[in-house]
Amino acid sequence: MQKNKKTQTTSSAESIEKSRPQLEKNVRSLIEAIGENNSREGLQDTPRRVVDALSKIFSGYGQDPKKIATTFNAENYDEMIVMKDIEFYSSCEHHMLPFFGKAYIGYIPNKKIIGLSKIPRVVDIFARRLQNQERLTMEIAETLRELIDPRGVGVVIEAEHLCVKSRGVEKQNAKVVTSAMLGLFKKKLNTRNEFLRLINHA
Ligand SMILES: [Zn+2]
């Protein structure tokens, strides 16, 4: 491993831990500003718990999806591979509120396939950052393209945003659907339709 890559591998957990006293203080200020009382019993340990939660929610920083992914020889398998209903939790970068839902991923291998358990890991690495849904969708698709150079890849994400639901905006049950289609999924209508049919989004 190259030494100059070291700064990139600082995990968010490490950097949050380093700033913990300040972060907990900030949470106490926030609690006070919303009109709460920090000495109330139920809130005593809240700053610590909030920082613990942030450490998990933003653990996608400092992780490189290209390092975790295992790829294999496709052994001439050339049909579409689809993984559905990949649950994820992310945070919108505009409000730092959760958005969450499901990702649907399909690809047609060229020479390589990716370990199935690694697909949700790739999703999580990008989801556990401050995001917008469009970027999250593209980053997953482009990472798969870089990792296995497939003949095509499609990513569909369906999510609910708490910043829409909880702030009293109308259409509270609306779901946002985004998609990224690369290679054959973009060029060939049949391929795209097959993917959408397999994930029940046609
Ligand atoms: Zn938002």
Q: How confident is the model at residue 88 (pLDDT cuts 50, 70, 90)?
A: very high
**Residue 131 bears catalytic tag:** no
Determine which one of 94, 134, 146, 172 is catalytic. Answer: 94
Distance 107 CA to ligand 1 centre (A): 30
> Residue holding tokens 């849904």?
133
For ion ligand 1, residues whose CB falls within 5 Å = 92, 94-95, 163
Q: Note the pLDDT tens digit of each residue in 95-118.
A: 999 999 999 999 999 999 999 999
pLDDT of residue 9: 56
Q: Note the pLDDT tens digit of each residue in 14-58.
A: 899 999 999 999 999 999 999 999 999 999 999 999 999 999 999
Model pTM?
0.90
pLDDT of residue 143: 97
Task: Please give the structure tokens belonging to residue 112.
Answer: 């390589």
Architecture of the domain delimited by 3-57? Orthogonal Bundle (1.10)
C-alpha–C-alpha distance, residues 62 and 5, integer Å: 11
pLDDT of residue 11: 79
C-alpha–C-alpha distance, residues 176 and 114, integer Å: 27
CATH 3.30.1130.10 domain extents, the chain: 65-198
Architecture of the domain delimited by 65-198? 2-Layer Sandwich (3.30)
C-alpha–C-alpha distance, residues 107 and 38, integer Å: 51
C-alpha–C-alpha distance, residues 192 and 28, integer Å: 50
C-alpha–C-alpha distance, residues 16 and 25, integer Å: 13
Q: Which residues contact 119 (CB under 8 A, 6 or more apart)?
A: 83, 86, 105, 144
- Nearest Cα residue to 192 out of 164, 152, 132: 152
CATH 1.10.286 domain extents, the chain: 3-57
